Amino acid sequence: MAKETTTEKKVATATNAPHATRTTRADALRNEDALLEAAKVVFANVGVDAPVREIAAQAGVGVGTLYRRFPTRSDLVVGVFKREVDACAAEAPILANAHPPGEALSRWLKRYCQFIVTKKGLASALHSGDPAFDALPAYFRSNFEPALTDLLAAAAKAGEARHDVDAYDLLRAIGNLASTGGKDGPDGMEHTYRMLDLMIDGLRFGTSR
Amino acid sequence: MAKETTTEKKVATATNAPHATRTTRADALRNEDALLEAAKVVFANVGVDAPVREIAAQAGVGVGTLYRRFPTRSDLVVGVFKREVDACAAEAPILANAHPPGEALSRWLKRYCQFIVTKKGLASALHSGDPAFDALPAYFRSNFEPALTDLLAAAAKAGEARHDVDAYDLLRAIGNLASTGGKDGPDGMEHTYRMLDLMIDGLRFGTSR
DNA sequence: TGATAAACGGAACAATGTTCCGTATTTGGT
DNA sequence: ACCAAATACGGAACATTGTTCCGTTTATCA
């Protein structure tokens, strides 16, 4: 009933058999990681419709292994998406520690742009009607919104950003901005970054109000 | 070397052989029609991803027959889409003859709403990246815009609609309106029709200006 | 009516998602 | 260090499609 966290230790009740559970095997963990990494690469190169076999091959495992971890193609897509969301969101506090607030905000927004651009392929899959993807928008928001909220608050406190911008609005705005100006455009990403700088300047400018 | 166009008619020069070409066989025409009709039904029930075999079965033909007419799944989708566009656009002049201008306009817009709602499934396919669908938006517009323009002009001339509404804008507006309020909603289509009536009233009201 | 081009049906092929199971590896206790 | 059991692995086999091929049937037209 309660969801197990990654390592489920043996049940220590007195009466039970010698060993009720084991830890997840090391190779299993390694393979799960390899699969997600491989899927990320293959999805980027071939698209989200890439054959499962190809992903398994790239990860250096058999399809059986892939399917034990990700019972369905969709599960793999979801896995990659979440992992990327996690990775991107996790950079927010790191950047916040390593740079002054305004700089951290600016850097993270650029990083977010990259996320959006590389996930454009996945984005269309999201609207494909497969119920496996239903939870992703919420996951997206629940990870990114707090991350950006913190960055914004810190920057605002330091007088490096205005106070009246909502994190979610900003996520959407930049999301739209980045998803229309693809990375394959005439000046690839340059246009997107220029527009992003514009928005960031806008954030700073508002400070004086 | 030179690519043949679809129907290479007999060369009608005086000297040639008895019969260079024949007319398209009657059953072929019948089957093409049956296939489009079947596809329309199956797409509506199962979705645009319905198996080709199922469509062939519904049409009462073999898959071979289907593939001679529509060399690719996409071709079939395109065929159904165009046929529906044609059918809907063709009703405009008919309604214009059968009713006073304002009534004709109102009726056609309702018909257009139905088109949009039933084609929602196809709409997502349009954005799937398949280049076979690239021509459809233009086809959509080049058929509907003139049809609605005529209806609007007639209604405006009769004092039953304002003059300052662009046909394309109206198509888009109602398109958005109908595609968000699906037919499966709580009061199925009723909400959409109510909003449509609102817009039509708006068209009429502007008359007084 | 009969010769013939056109069209037909569906078996066969290819690509892909998914399942199954015999084999190999890891773990935990001794 | 060793062993037995649990766990995980690989990839063949299966199921479901899209697509092609070809022997058979049928409509056309002289």
Distance CA A132, CA A146 (A): 24
Distance CA B40, CA A125 (A): 24
**B-chain residues near A124 (CB < 8 A):** 127-129
In terms of Cβ atoms closer than 10 Å to its own Cβ (0-12, 13-18, 19+), residue A85 is buried
Q: Once rounded to an integer, what is the mean pLDDT over residues B174-188?
A: 71
Measure A126 CA to nearest chain B CA, in Å. 11
* Nucleotide with smallest C1' distance to residue A68 CA: D8
Rounded to a whole number of angstroms, the CA Rg of chain A reads 21
Measure B129 CA to nearest chain A CA, in Å. 10
Is residue B44 over pLDDT 70?
A: yes
Tell me which DSSP letter residue B3 carries. P
Question: Residues A127, A154: contact at Cβ < 8 Å?
Answer: no
Which of A78, A71, A68 shows the shortest CA–CA distance to A40?
A78
- A167-181, B87-101, B195-209: which has the highest mean pLDDT? B87-101
Taken in order of first residue, the domains within chain A and their CATH numbers are: 23-71 (1.10.10.60), 80-208 (1.10.357.10)
Q: Once rounded to an integer, what is the mean pLDDT over residues B125-136?
A: 84
Distance CA A204, CA A200 (A): 6
B144-162 pLDDT, tens digit each = 999 999 999 999 999 999 8
Q: Hey, of B120, B124, B126, which one would you mutate to test binding to chain A, going by the most A CBs within 10 A of its CB? A: B124
Q: Does B72 touch chain A (CB under 8 A)?
A: no
Question: Residues A179, A120: contact at Cβ < 8 Å?
Answer: yes
Q: How confident is the model at residue A5 (pLDDT cuts 50, 70, 90)?
A: very low
A16-49 pLDDT, tens digit each = 344 457 899 999 999 999 999 999 999 999 989 9
Question: Residues A77, A48: contact at Cβ < 8 Å?
Answer: yes
3-state helix, strand, coil in chain A (%, to 5): 70, 0, 30
B62-98 pLDDT, tens digit each = 999 999 999 999 999 999 999 999 999 999 999 999 9
Question: Residues B38, B86: contact at Cβ < 8 Å?
Answer: no
Helices marked H in B47-100 — which ranges?
52-59, 63-69, 73-98
Question: Residues A113, A196: contact at Cβ < 8 Å?
Answer: yes
b vs e for A115-143, b when ≥16 Cβ sit within 10 Å of the residue's Cβ?
bbbebebbeebbeeeeeebeebeeebeeb
pLDDT at A56: 97
Averaged pLDDT score across all residues of chain A: 84
Taking CA atoms, B153 is separated from B44, B82, B160, B207, in Å, by 34, 25, 10, 12
Spatial CB neighbours of B22, under 8 Å, sequence gap ≥ 6: none
Is residue B186 over pLDDT 70?
A: no
Interatomic separation, CA of residue B105 and C1' of nucleotide D19, rounded (Å): 45
**B-chain residues near A129 (CB < 8 A):** 47, 124
Q: Does A180 touch chain B (CB under 8 A)?
A: no
Distance CA A49, CA A150 (A): 36
pLDDT at B187: 62
Interatomic separation, CA of residue B27 and C1' of nucleotide C2, rounded (Å): 21
Q: Which residue has the higher pLDDT, B128 or A138?
A: A138
Distance CA A91, CA A83 (A): 13
Q: Once rounded to an integer, what is the mean pLDDT over residues A68-93?
A: 95
Q: Once rounded to an integer, what is the mean pLDDT over residues B165-182?
A: 84
Distance CA B148, CA B88 (A): 11
Residues 12-41 of A with CB under 7 A from strand C: 18-19, 22-23, 25-27
For residue B177, the surrounding DSSP H or E stretch is helix B167-180
Is residue A203 over pLDDT 90?
A: no
Q: Among residues of chain B, what percentage have pLDDT more than 70?
A: 85
* CA dihedral (A72, A74, A80, A83) positive or negative: negative
Q: Does A129 touch chain B (CB under 8 A)?
A: yes
Q: Which residue has the higher pLDDT, A190 or B72?
A: B72
Tokens at residue A45, please? 């190169």
What's the one-letter identity of residue B203? L
Averaged pLDDT score across all residues of chain B: 84
